[in-house]
Amino acid sequence: VQLQASGGGLVQAGGSLRLSCAASGPSFSSWIMAWFRQAPGKEREFVAVITWGLGSTYYADSVKGRFTISRDNAKNTMALQMNSLKPGDTAVYYCSATSTFRSVPAMREATHYNYWGQGTQVTVSS
């Protein structure tokens, strides 16, 4: 399984960016896919997750209402639409995947995921 994240960049506060994650591997539609981010000097933190099938979604409180996670199982891709960006959103964003479900709370933990993309930098200027 390989994940390739793209779409990061520099944007002013209040602007938007759309991140993409291209996945290769079997049974993509059965994976749980998530975005995490890591700012300098901070731990990696959960951003959003989308499950398999109908694609239930869960978000960190800090991005709820501003970010939208989606997936296209026909294209083996996942996206994160980020609106109303704030300087506090500045981080390297990572896409991740797992075929195992433990619990809804566990999906917010980085340790839940087996596969990681290389990360894409998002910088929001004030």
| Per-residue model confidence (pLDDT) at position 105 | 92
pLDDT-based confidence at residue 59 (cuts at 50, 70, 90): very high
φ/ψ bin of 121: left (φ > 0), alpha (ψ from -120 to 50), beta (otherwise):
beta
pLDDT-based confidence at residue 53 (cuts at 50, 70, 90): confident
| pLDDT tens digits along 3-31 | 999 999 999 999 999 999 999 988 888 89
